[in-house]
Structure 1
């Protein structure tokens, strides 16, 4: 998978993908004020979204593999 496709995928649903400036600023962020997560309304919703994202990625991998073989 190309890097651009990876960054636009659902892989980084919970934590997100930091850019260079965010990483540089994190060095000086001792209080952790810059670090954010994608929150859900409940534990069940968070589990559902994480599992859905995982299975979506499995499906994408299978489609990619089948296109290469066929």
Structure 2
């Protein structure tokens, strides 16, 4: 999930190129919310979704490591 910049509008290539010479920051755009509370709620929800995804990846990686370690131990035991 690439929601790190949820509150910022994603410019096109040409808009990005134009921003390079926009010294007055007149081309900055933001995604609009009805209220500040709504923007905070959306950002907070998105942050927790990303945290959940990161935790899920970390748990999966550790489970994979444990399985590999277990297989290595079984292999070493069988050779002796």
TM-score by length of 1: 0.71
Match of 2:38 in 1: 45
| Structure 1 unmatched runs, 5+ | 1-7
Give, in whole Å, the separation in 1 of the partners of 2:23 and 2:10.
19
Which consecutive aligned stretches of 4+ in structure 1 deviate over 6 angstroms post-superposition?
none
| Structure 2 unmatched runs, 5+ | 64-80
Q: Which has the larger radius of gyration?
A: 2
Give, in whole Å, the separation in 2 of the partners of 1:27 and 1:33.
11
User: Cα RMSD between the aligned structures?
Assistant: 2.0
Tell which deviates more after alignment, 15-24 or 49-58: 15-24
**Alignment: residue pair count:** 63
1:18 CA drift (Å): 4.5
TM-score by length of 2: 0.64
